[in-house]
Every structure is written in structure tokens, then in C-alpha cells.
Amino acid sequence: MEVTVNVNGQSYTRDVEPRTLLVHFIREQLGLTGTHVGCETTICGACTVLLDGNAVKSCNVLAVQADGAEVKTVEGLANNGDLHPAQEGFWEKHGLQCGYCTPGFLMSTVQLLDRNPNPSEQEIRDAFEGNYCRCTGYHNIVKAVQYAAEKMSGQAVAAD
Amino acid sequence: MGEKYFGKAIKRTEDPRFIQGQGHYVDDIKVVGQTYVTMVRCPHAHATIKSVNTDKAKAHKGVIDIITGQEMVDAGIGSIPVGWLLDGLKTPPHYAIAVDKARFQGEIVAAVIADEPLSAEDAADLVEVQYETHGGVANPAKALESGAPQVHDDAEGNLAFDWNIGDKDATDAAFDSAAYKVKLDLRNNRLIPNAIEPRASLAEYNVGTGEYTLHTTSQNPHVHRLIIAAFVMGIPEHKLRVISPDVGGGFGSKIFQYPEEIVVLYASKKLGRPVKWTAKRSESFMTDSHGRDHVSTAEMCADADGNISGLRVTTAANMGAYLTLFAPAVPTYLYGTLLAGPYRNPNIYCEVKGVFTNTTPVDAYRGAGRPEATYLLERMVSTLADECGIDAAEFRRKNFIAPDAFPYQTPVALAYDSGNYEPALDKALERLGYEQLRKEQAEGRKQGRYIGIGFSTYLEACGLAPSAVVGSLGAQAGQWESSLIRVHPTGVVEVYTGSHSHGQGHETAFAQIVADRLGVPMENVEVIHGDTGKMPFGWGTYGSRSGPVGTSAIVKAVEKVQDKARKIAAHLLEARDEDIEAEDGNYSVKGSPDKAIGFGDIALQAHLCHNYPEDLEPGLEAMAMYDPANFVYPFGTHICVVEVNPDTGKVKILRYVAVDDCGPQINPLIVQGQVHGGIVQGAAQALYENALYDDNAQLLSANYMEYVLPKANMFPMFEIDHTVTPSPHNPLGVKGIGEAGAISSTAAVANAVNDALQAFGIKHLDMPLSAPRIWQAIQDAAPAQAAD
């Protein structure tokens, strides 16, 4: 089956088996290996991408379901070399150690701050129900998101 | 020497690639002609393999070959060896693919190789295996009982080893005369490491050179090379290059040499094509080495004044179906020797039986033996404190080894080189507001709120290890570390290390050390690890050794470079060696500061050699190997505050205070990150994680729906502080911190919950302290309570 998916602003048309998962399409067919596979039961969140603006577990979405849709992955977060505030926050606050869960957390962070620009600590922790980290203990991930939230609301203010 | 970088909370230099999705993990690698392997795994815990029929599978589209166990044995592929031999240890063979019997659910019985991953998966379902099933046993205590299924023919009664440490007679005598005694049956629940990156291996064989290249998720590529080349495949070591690029977490589970690695290597030569295997998460659950799994009985006693006078322990330790690399050491020399903790206890006796069961092999998992020891010790100490009627904190303080008592010889072999335990306790108590909290706890009980306060004043031994010491105890390995410092003609510096970083931030921390000492900017220092083709032999990262041992090798190598740089500077400045002063990369003559030369120029001159000391070889590079004189002994106080909801049994962690002493901190950001992660992993054992087998040794918790990994909303922010007691025997005085959080927190959380449950008359509850278990215990205790 032929599918056309816009990933990070670029359109790709490829032939896929109907059972091909979106995460495998992104990683294997498009060579964008920033999105990771951590489990096969949608729980760990390493595969999180934005599908038409919504965070989804790409291990649980078929590539054919993304036909005609817009997908954003971690590779699409930086803007012309300028890091996204979420990326900056994770770097500044040591919100990552082995880095494997990080792309998934970054995409979930983008969705969280899009829907809730000034989340409380509890809201941040609850928003990551669908993302596992085995390394950081989540403490600095919370700080990273708080940094990003501050930076993004700062930018919004500056733009006024 | 400047301290521009050491001790600073510098953000990590490795992060840019990870935050932009440019990490290079094994599954990201694609090579031309790559094939894919799916393993056919035994669904039974214990079965004789009667036949393996591959006809239908071989006919499937895209299938290239199917490999069975007998084929590999016939080809001379050996058993995967154990790396630690105890007296009388049973070492049954461990083949990559089961030959006539499978002994745990998930053991490989055939390997299907195809040109597409889905073809291999589909074809694997078509392999027909005839099994004759046998009874399986999962619990180590049950496996020791007569009549239990026998896992290996030559390990009678499923006993892998019977080990003990300490003075039995002296300890028994102490109990006979003790004023206070307590006894607990303790289960240290079985855990599954679950690094978020599943294991993966990619093997390639070069027919022309006879060299294999193995990209694999390893914490110690040289160990993989040595074991696999020399012991399994029987090839010269330099014909196997092992590369561990970015690795997504290990926690011990990626130390070992796994069957899948052997299979892809064998297949790559046979087929003349690269062969790749990536674990599914369910395979990770079933086949990554598991952790912990002890069944123990412990007794502790004290004299009339509340001084600890004895501890005796018997433990049945689950080894799983096969012994993997470190397995025999974990419940023996990394466990029994830690039972003194930071306390002045003169009498300890510990006996451990290692038991084969029809389960996944059990080996080192963050802390490896020391969390098991700390949990047992701290539960006993809290219980004994209660029995003596002394406050949990004061009982610990009173029994601490005094700061002037070092070096301190424990009754369980270890001699602690340094320690100062009270300041960490004091800091933790103050941060917590302990006295006020006890008042709140008492008030809370009157209002039907059940708050618990739990202590863990831990001590651990890490920085593995003095090679002669571990060699005398059965280790079939050295435990020194290596570093090669290469200064290029342009003055940029490469630091090769035998340590491996899979989250620990070595690329940053090690560069901080070298940049300071050579007086060069950090941007000019690059740390390289993880490739046996690039660097000298090293033993890898585990046992919190990269700090104490890894950096020591680096410091020694840097000193050699500095020494040579001085000599070159002296020659060029026409001065004597002794008159050269080096500050921030500037080498000048004492008393004539304008006679100076920069490190960059020295590096260039070292390669041009146009004006150069006659007795000095060209170049500016040096290698050092460092064998530590002793273990290092980090310690600290963790205090956990929980609230138990009596209606649901749920536990909420209200506060967690951690004061740790790992000596001087190279990078406080990285140190704290290690502590945070360790706290959560250890707490998760206490509250959530439990690898569960049924009576037929079938793994019931084989995915994230049944095995609860800790999530962000289960924890508060942690309150982290530290004290600094340097190690006296390595150049930086650093002690490891990678495991300390996990070693301490299980005990702190378990003690906190048990403290809360005292209100219901519950003396002790085993882990995991899940909501149903707590709720049930409260219900069961209710009639007794009503009777009070």
C-alpha cells in the first residue's frame, strides 16, 4: 500500500505492508532513528510522536493510519539549529542520562505545554503517565519541563 | 593545577545528540545486506526437546537459514562460562541455543534468519518443536526441598553452592547471652532490570580478514570480547571487535554475555551476511538477567544497653536456570561481607545457599548484593531498636563505628578505610525536622492518619576492585582500569577509557578532570569509550567503579603526559625540569614568567621534534592502568516519610531526604542524577516491582501491564544533600555513587511503611508493599487491634 506522510515538514511517499507500524516506518523507511522502540504494549512512551498535533504512541499506530497526516518527531523540534525550549530545559537541568526515553519525553512535553502552558509539579508528573524513565528518577525531568514552561511563556510575553 | 571544572555542575557535553534524536544506539545501525533473526523460545519452564522441525519455516518467503543448538555445538561453539568460581560451585554448561533440554521459559530452541524482520517473525511461528514437559520450580527455598524438580542432573538438590562467612560459634554465643533478640523472615523480591533500551546485537564477519565486528548493548565491550572470543567461539581475541555505541541504560543487565550475541556471531560467519537481533520487551522480561530473589531468615541481638552484639542470617539465593558471569559473587562476597554496615557489631554469621530454579538467570542488578544486605540489615536494625525501646535514629547513632576507629576491620572480611557516619545522620534529621515529624506522626494517628518514618543509614562497598583480593575470592577476572591520553599535534586531547558510559555522563565528567589538569578548555578534550578496536583493555562499568577506578587510571595517564610536557618545556625554555611551573596550560620558568610556552605549542613541538630532548621519545601520549588498593566505602543516611491509606492500602511517599557521602564530587549535577535514579529504582522494589512466577515456573509478569515500573507521579521531589569524606587511597579521593541510591532506598521506604503499620500491630510486612498486600494485612490485624 502506498502512503504519503508529512514528517517534520517534509512529505514522504512510500510503499508499506498494511501491518507496518508508524514507528518502524519512521525509523526504517525514513531513517529517522530518533524515535525509539521500548516495548510493544504502548506503555513505555519511547516511541511518542505528534500526529496532527496529538501525542501518540507510534508503536500502536499503523503507518497507513498516518496517510495524509502530519507527524512531528524529535528531529523536527529544533528550529534552524535553535533548540526548542523543551530540548534546552532537558539539557540545562540534566533531565536525561542514557537518552533513550528522551525523545518520547520531549514530544510529550511539547503536547503538555501546548495544552497547559503553566503546569504545576503534579500536573507535570501526571502528564508523564505514559512515559517511563529508568535513569533519572523523574526529579530533573520535572525541572526541565518547568524550565521550558518558563522559557516559553517568556517568549510569548516578549512577542507581545 | 586549576580547578576550573572539577566540582562544577557543568551541563553534559553528550546531551546535544540525545536531545536532537541523533543518538547512535545498536538498533539504529543499518548495514548493507543486513539480515534479521527471530528466536524461537521454549514456552515451558522445563522441557526436554524431542524434536525441532524447521521444514515449513525454511520454506517461508525470505528465510535464509534456521540454526539449532546441536549445529552450534557440532561447530565447536562452547558454553557461556561463569566468571566467578566459589569452592564447590556447580557449573553446568550453558549453551546459546538449548540442545536437549530447555530449563527456563524463554530459553532459545532455534534461531530463524530472514532478509526482513517480519519474515523472520512469521517464519518463527512455523517452527515445530515437540516438547516433553516436566515440572518446574521457581522459588529458591522450594527448590531446595526434597522432591523438587531437578534443574540440572549434576547439581543434586538444585544446590549450586553452599557458602558462609563469619564466626558461627562466636555469633551463637552472643545470642545465648543477649538481652534483646529479634527474628524476621525476609523476602527480597525478584526484579527485572528493564533498561528502556531493549538489548540488541549486530554481527558482521569479514571473510578476507577473518574479523568479526559485534555491535552490542554492553556495559563492558572488552569483557564481551574476552569471554566470547576465548571461551565461547575459540577465536583469537583480536579477531573480534566489540563496539558498544550509545547504550540506553544497563543497571547490570548489560554486563553479561547473552545467547543472542553468540547466535548472531555464529550466523554472520556461516551466512556471510550481517545478522541483527533486537529484543522485544517481552523477551527482555523473560531473558534479561533478573535481580535479587532471596529468601532469608535473620536474627539480631543486643546487650542490655542497646549495643548490637550479633547478627545471624541464612539465605536461599535464586540463581535461575544457569549461572551467568558474576552470579555466584552477588549473594556471597557482595552480600555477606556487607552485613556489618556502619555498625560496631562484633559477631556476624551468614550462610548462603545458591539455588538453581527453572527461571531466568539471576545476576547483578544495580547494587548487586548490597541492596539485599542493606534491606536485611536496616529492617533488622529498626526492628531491634523497637525491641530495645530506643528511637530508630538514636539506636543507629549509638551503634555507629566512631570516626577515629578507621581503618576498621569488620567480622565479615571487609576492612573499611574511612568513614564518618554521624554528620550525614545529623544533616538528614535536621533537614527532615525529625522531632517535629514524630510529633505530627503521633497526632496523625489520633486522627486516623498513618504516617511512617523509615531510616536507612547505609554503607556500601564498591569501586570494584583490588584484583588480587577478588582473585583470591574466586573472580576469574582482573578489576583494574585503563586510560590512554593522546594529545594531537594541534593540542586537542583524546581520552580513551576502559569505562563505558550508558547514562553516567563520563564524556563530561572525565573531560572535566583532564581539562583541569592539562589546563586546556573542555571543548578541546574528547572522551572516547566503548570500542575494543580503539582503546586498551578495560573491565567496563558496573559496581560503581568508573569514579574510583576509571578516573584513577585517567589521572595516572594525565600525570605521565604532564611529566613529559614539562620535560619538553624545560628543553625549549632552556631550563631545568624542576624549574618549570605549569598553571592553566601555561608552562613557565620559576622566577622568569615571561619565559613561557603554552600546552598547544608543546604538543606541536612533541610531534615535530626539531628541537627536542635527546633522551625523550617523540609524541605526547601516555597510557596507565590502575589497580585499586581497596574497595571504596560510600555511606549516608536516607529518611523516607510515607502515608498509608488504611482504606485502600496505598502508600504515598510524602518526603524523601538523602544525604550521601561519595567523597569529592566531580560533577554535582551528575552525582545528584545518579542518586535520584537510584532512589526511584530502590523504592520501586519496596512498593511496586515483583517478578512473579506461578507454580509451574511460568513468568506471570512479562510485560508492563503486569510488572509495575515506577512512574513520575509516584514520587515527590527529593531533598538531596551530602557530606564529603574522601577515600584515602585513590588520587581524587572519590567513591562511587551509581548504585548507592538504589542500595539505600529500598530499606528506607520499607522501614517507613513498616513504621506506619506498627499502628495496626503489624510487626513486619514483606515487599513489594503493594496496596492489596497492605490492605489485607490491615484487615487481618483488625481483630487483634480491636482486642487491645
Please indicate if any CB of chain B lies within 8 Å of the CB of A112: no
The residue with cell 547471652 is B177
pLDDT on residue A159? 32
* Confidence at residue A157, expressed as pLDDT on a 0 to 100 scale: 38
Q: What distance in Å separates the CA atoms of residue B274 and residue B296, rounded to the nearest whole number?
A: 47
Q: Coil, helix or strand for B226?
A: helix
Does the complex come out with an ipTM higher than 0.85? yes
The rounded distance, in Å, linking the Cα atoms of A78 and A58 is: 20
Amino acid at A104: G
Query: Cα(B488)–Cα(B602) distance, rounded to whole angstroms?
Result: 10
Percent helix / strand / coil, chain B, rounded to 5: 35, 25, 40
Of B271, B284, B292, B287, whose CA–CA distance to B97 is shortest? B287
- Cβ distance of A134 and B677 shorter than 8 Å: yes
pLDDT at residue B302 is higher than 50: yes
Cα within 13 Å of Cα(A103), Cβ side: 33
Q: Does residue B787 surpass a pLDDT of 80?
A: no
Q: How far apart are CA A23 and CA B37, in angstroms?
A: 19
Residues of B whose CB is below 8 A from A122 = 713
Q: What is the pLDDT of residues B422-444, one digit of tens each?
A: 999 999 999 999 999 999 999 99
Residue B786: per-residue pLDDT? 52
Quick one: which of B723, B508, B602 has its CA closest to B516? B508
How much of chain B exceeds pLDDT 90, in percent? 99
Distance of residue B199 Cα from the nearest chain A Cα, in angstroms: 10
Q: Which of the residues A20, A134, A145 would you substitute to probe the B interface, choosing the one with the greatest number of B C-beta atoms within 10 Å?
A: A134
Find the CB nearest B196 among A34, A40, A100: A100
Quick one: pLDDT at residue A154? 83
| CA neighbor of B497 nearest in space, from B526, B464, B517 | B526
Residue A19 CB: number of other CB atoms within 10 A?
10
Is pLDDT above 80 for B366?
yes
Query: B261 — contact with chain A (CB < 8 Å)?
Result: no
Show which of residues 667-706 on chain B sit within 8 Å of chain A, judged by CB atoms: 669-670, 672-673, 675-681, 703-705
What single-letter amino acid sits at B67? Answer: I
Which of the four pLDDT bands, split at 50, 70 and 90, describes residue B785? low
**Per-residue pLDDT at B784 exceeds 60:** no
- B440 in Cβ contact with B449 (< 8 Å): no
- The tens digit of pLDDT for each residue in B207-251 reads 999 999 999 999 999 999 999 999 999 999 999 999 999 999 999
Which has the closest alpha carbon to B708: B681, B684, B738?
B684
Q: Give the residue-averaged pLDDT of B313-338.
A: 98
Say whether B718 and A129 touch across the interface (CB within 8 A): no
- Chain B contact for A146, CB < 8 A? no
C-alpha B442/C-alpha B530 separation (Å) is 54
* Ramachandran category for residue B529: left, alpha or beta (phi over 0 → left; psi -120 to 50 → alpha): beta
Chain A contact set for B196 (CB, 8 A): 36, 38, 44, 46, 98, 100-101, 132-135
Is residue B710 over pLDDT 50?
A: yes
Is residue B189 within 8 A of residue B293, CB to CB? The reply is yes
Give the pLDDT confidence score for residue A155 in this predicted structure: 61
Q: Which amino acid is at B57?
A: A
The predicted pLDDT at position B651 comes to 98
Task: Scan residues 498-527 of B and list those with Cβ closer than 8 Å to A.
Answer: 502-505
pLDDT category at B782 given cuts 50, 70, 90 is confident
If we measure between CA atoms, which residue out of B681, B706, B788 comes closest to residue B249?
B681
Q: Burial of B721 by CB count in 10 Å (0-12 exposed, 13-18 middle, 19+ buried)?
A: middle
Interface touch A41/B704, C-beta < 8 Å: yes
Contacts of residue B55, Cβ cutoff 8 Å, sequence gap at least 6 = none
Rounded to the nearest integer, the mean pLDDT of chain B is 97
pLDDT at B462: 97
Determine whether the interchain pair B280/A40 forms a contact, defined as Cβ–Cβ distance below 8 Å. yes
Residue A95's closest chain B neighbor by CA?
B673
Mean per-residue pLDDT, B384-410: 98
pLDDT > 50? residue B294? yes
Element (H, E) at B163: strand B159-166
pLDDT at residue B2 is higher than 90: no
User: Is A74's CB within 8 Å of B197's CB?
Assistant: no
CA distance A43 to B227: 35
Report the pLDDT value the prediction gives residue A160, as an integer from 0 to 100: 30
Q: What is the mean pLDDT of chain A?
A: 95
Instruction: Give the closest of A102, A129, A140 to B676, CB-based.
Output: A140
Summarize pLDDT for B473-529 with one digit per residue, the tens.
Answer: 999 999 999 999 999 999 999 999 999 999 999 999 999 999 999 999 999 999 999
Q: How far apart are the CA of A150 and the nearest CA of chain B, in angstroms?
A: 19
Of B502, B678, B704, the CB nearest to A98: B502
Q: Considering only residues 187 to 216 of chain B, which have any Cβ-Cβ distance to chain A shorter than 8 Å?
A: 194-198
Which B residues 240-259 touch A at CB under 8 Å?
246-249, 251
pLDDT tens readout for residues B439-462 = 999 999 999 999 999 999 999 999
Tens digits of per-residue pLDDT, B90-134? 999 999 999 999 999 999 999 999 999 999 999 999 999 999 999
Contact predicate B735/B549, CB 8 Å: no
Instruction: Indicate yes or no: CB of B196 within 8 angstroms of CB of A37.
Output: no
**Chain A to chain B, count of Cβ pairs less than 8 Å apart?**
179
Whether B393 and chain A come into contact, CB under 8 Å, resolves to no
Residue of chain B nearest A130, judged by CA positions? B711
Chain B neighbours among A 26-65 (CB < 8 Å)? 27-28, 31-41, 43-44, 46
- State whether residue A98 sits within 8 Å of chain B by CB: yes
| Cell reading at B243 | 563496539
A19-29: average pLDDT: 98
Mean pLDDT of B569-583: 95
Per-residue model confidence as pLDDT tens digits over A107-159: 999 999 999 999 999 999 999 999 999 999 999 999 999 999 999 998 643 33
Nearest chain B residue to A31 by CA: give it.
B28
Instruction: Kindly state the average pLDDT of the residues B764-788.
Output: 86
Query: What Cα–Cα distance (Å) separates residue B219 from each residue in B5, B257, B287?
Result: 26, 10, 17
Report, as an integer, the average pLDDT of B18-41. 98
Angle between helix A139-159 and A102-115 (nearest 10): 50
Considering the entire predicted model, what is its pTM?
0.97
Q: Confidence band (pLDDT; 50, 70, 90) for B3?
A: confident
Interface test with A, best of B8, B12, B13, B20 (most A CBs within 10 A): B20
* Residue owning grid cell 510529633: B439
- SS3 string, A43-65, reads CCCCCEEEECCEEEEHHHCEHHH
How many other CB atoms are there within 10 angstroms of residue B686's CB atom?
28
**Neighbouring-strand partners of residue B407:** none
| Rounded CA separation A132/A58 (Å) | 15
